[in-house]
């Protein structure tokens, strides 16, 4: 990360990620993994031109890309960055899988946040079985290296632990192994030891 306004990417998120990483977790991990040149600023600093106002510029993260466009919606941002940096699968099949996986993960996050996982543990089991299946033949969710799917899953898992169960993956050995591996991955290890809270 740099602190100049000349960065190729400018991410806008609450507190400029000085107090918590929150929904920016996957985006920041992706930028770090790629070694991208980026700055994080507060939402009040986001562009307010006509185009930006049209995409409901009150929910963040949003990111200004090197081409000058400012984009919102976390899964869309992850998709763009993943494609740009080769962190969204290598083969066509992996890339398609990665697109679905990011949205699956987003649903798991929503179910955790809304209390649906706690209300219906069988739903949690279905999700965790699906993720375990994705891990059947490789170390991370799409292949043997982390992708935007894994980085977004760090965010979702933090919410699963907070709103459902801290031992949620204990009955799912592949998922428990994945969590250990992704937490030991350098960009994730750095974030989790940053002194900044993962969630608000
Ligand atoms: N669908 C959007 C939702 C973004 C969102 O709700 N962000 C929250 C912070 S994590 C926010 O900015 N909330 C402020 C508000 O809703 O006014 C995404 O996935 O990025």
pLDDT at residue 86 above 50?
yes
Kindly compute the dihedral angle of the four CA atoms of residues 47, 22, 191, 17, in this order, to the nearest 10 degrees.
40
Residue 62: beta bridge partners? 12, 72
Ligand 1 center to 162 CA (angstroms):
18
> Which residue CA neighbors atom 13 of ligand 1 most closely?
59
Pocket of ligand 1 (CB under 6 A): 22-23, 58-60, 73-74
Looking from the CA of residue 106, the nearest atom of ligand 1 is 19
Q: How many CB atoms lie within 10 A of CB 73?
A: 14
Between CA 140 and CA 146 the distance in angstroms is 6
CA-to-CA separations, 133 to 25, 34, 118, 136, 139, in angstroms, rounded: 24, 27, 22, 5, 12
What value does the mean pLDDT take over residues 120-146?
98
pLDDT of 159 over the 90 cut: yes
Q: Which domains does the chain have, with CATH numbers?
A: 9-85 (3.40.30.10), 92-185 (1.20.1050.10)
Give CA–CA dist 125/12, Å, rounded: 34
CA distance 126 to 123: 5
Q: What is the mean pLDDT of residues 165-184?
A: 98
| Greater model confidence, 7 or 41 | 41
The protein residue whose alpha carbon is closest to atom 9 in ligand 1 is: 60
Mean pLDDT of 14-31: 98
- Report the nearest-CA residue for atom 6 of ligand 1: 59
How high is the pLDDT of residue 1?
Answer: 45
Asked if residue 70 has pLDDT above 70, the reply is yes
Which residues are CB-contacts of 159 (< 8 A; sequence separation ≥ 6)?
109, 112, 113, 199
């Amino acid at each position: 990360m740099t602190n100049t306004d000349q960065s190729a990417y400018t991410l806008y998120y609450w507190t400029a990620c000085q107090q918590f990483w929150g929904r920016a977790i996957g985006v920041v991990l992706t930028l770090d993994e790629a070694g991208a040149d980026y700055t994080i600023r507060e939402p009040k600093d986001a562009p307010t031109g006509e185009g930006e106002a049209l995409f409901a510029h009150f929910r963040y993260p949003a990111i200004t890309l090197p081409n000058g466009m400012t984009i919102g919606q976390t899964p869309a941002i992850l998709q763009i960055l993943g494609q740009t940096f080769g962190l969204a699968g290598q083969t066509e099949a992996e890339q398609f899988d990665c697109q679905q996986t990011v949205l699956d993960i987003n649903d798991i996050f929503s179910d955790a946040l809304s209390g649906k996982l706690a209300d219906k543990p069988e739903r949690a089991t279905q999700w965790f079985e699906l993720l375990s299946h994705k891990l059947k033949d490789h170390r991370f969710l799409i292949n043997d290296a982390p992708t935007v799917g894994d980085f977004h899953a760090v965010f979702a898992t933090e919410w699963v632990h907070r709103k459902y169960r801290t031992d949620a993956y204990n009955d799912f050995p592949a998922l428990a192994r994945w969590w250990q591996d992704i937490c030991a991955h350098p960009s994730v290890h750095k974030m989790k030891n940053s002194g900044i809270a993962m969630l608000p």
